Structure 1
């Protein structure tokens, strides 16, 4: 009389090896490489001397974006801008202008990263001179009217100046928060009378 246990072990081992072979075939198979150019990061169009305008909910001009060139990339929908110049027009407050050497905008334009000689200028008001901020890079969220940087910053207003590292800005609230290493020289407006 034969024992089924001794015959079952080789069959089980053979089944396990067959399953392992099929698994290895599919695990090591390389995906098919497509050569249609769909996943290349090449611009599908380039616009020179561009001007874009956004109209706000009330029908008034919210902001204007000018650039020497805009390169749009179809693989991720992003855009690169050369010499961007972004102007916020606010009915409630002063105009804010942001300029840089280059910028990268996300596909939905919710985030714009500015690089090189970034300059932000809030126009003068009846009671305050213009405020100018300079930094190496800046991330702007245009629809939220907020921005931040982790780079060193210098802000001037008339004869007064403030320097530091890292900055959080809220254009609507007109608040500017330096994150660290803040130094300042503040001129008294009353001393010049």
Structure 2
């Protein structure tokens, strides 16, 4: 009788164990229930107008300044949205670069700043290089690495005569290099040569002919009384 009871209870115990394992697996793979405390919503926890932040390097010099007409911070992903962002990057021995757009996004760590809609980058002229302007609809900037990149079409204007069109760009400010990915088209006009000023000819001095006065010979007049051909008077008796 006891052996028969053990024979019946053993399969029941196995089935119960399998049921518990199945329940545990089901609970494990199921997504967590949505929280209703508002932490999962993408709503800003604070908003700032005329936002300005400044970062310095190890020596205390200003590295870059980020401005925006409005800044919104979101606690769910610790990100920041910007309206009309304006970024200025400084560097020792390097030109100051400015970047602006209609919208911007800052990562939670602050190491990536994204610009969107009518993005414009200006690097002023320095040394023997003319001013460079870049326009696009999207630009990813890593301020600490001084790197800017995009996978969107770009237009680069350098000086008044050089224009480059491309799709995709990688700009390294530290090394002053720029890489264009594809569909590159360039237009360049050679500056017109400056006309050389003609040297004025030296005025020639007029030659003055030394006029020698002609020697005039005086004509000798013979008096009538001394003329050999004069006839002597005839005496009359």
Q: TM-score, normalised by structure 2?
A: 0.72
What corresponds to 1:44 in structure 2? Answer: 45
What corresponds to 1:167 in structure 2? Answer: 169
Aligned residues: 190
Distance 1:67 1:2 in 2: 83
Distance 2:64 2:48 in 1: 19
Q: TM-score, normalised by structure 1?
A: 0.88
- Matched ranges for 1:104-123 at <5 A: 104-123=105-124
Unaligned runs of 5+ in 2: 195-237
What corresponds to 1:15 in structure 2? Answer: 13
- Matched ranges for 1:130-169 at <5 A: 130-158=131-159, 159-169=161-171
Distance 1:160 1:30 in 2: 56
3-state SS of paired residue (1:37)? coil
3-state SS of paired residue (1:22)? helix
What corresponds to 2:199 in structure 1? Answer: none
Q: Deviations over 1:9-31 (max 9, x none)?
A: x5454233212322343414764
> Deviating runs (4+, > 6 A) in structure 1?
1-4
1 or 2, which has the higher strand percentage?
Answer: 1
How far has the Cα of 1:96 moved from its partner?
0.7
Distance 1:18 1:192 in 2: 95
**Which one scores higher on RCO, CA 8 angstroms, separation ≥ 6?**
1
Residue 179, structure 1, aligned to residue 181, structure 2: yes
Distance 1:12 1:174 in 2: 77
What corresponds to 1:72 in structure 2? Answer: 73
How far has the Cα of 1:169 moved from its partner?
0.7
Distance 1:83 1:188 in 2: 37
Distance 1:118 1:95 in 2: 17
How far has the Cα of 1:192 moved from its partner?
4.2
Distance 2:63 2:193 in 1: 36
Q: Deviations over 1:93-120 (max 9, x none)?
A: 1111111111111111111121111111
What corresponds to 1:62 in structure 2? Answer: 63
Distance 1:156 1:20 in 2: 71
Distance 1:192 1:58 in 2: 46
- Residues 111-120 or 121-130, more deviating: 121-130
3-state SS of paired residue (2:105)? strand
How far has the Cα of 1:35 moved from its partner?
2.1
How far has the Cα of 1:63 moved from its partner?
0.8
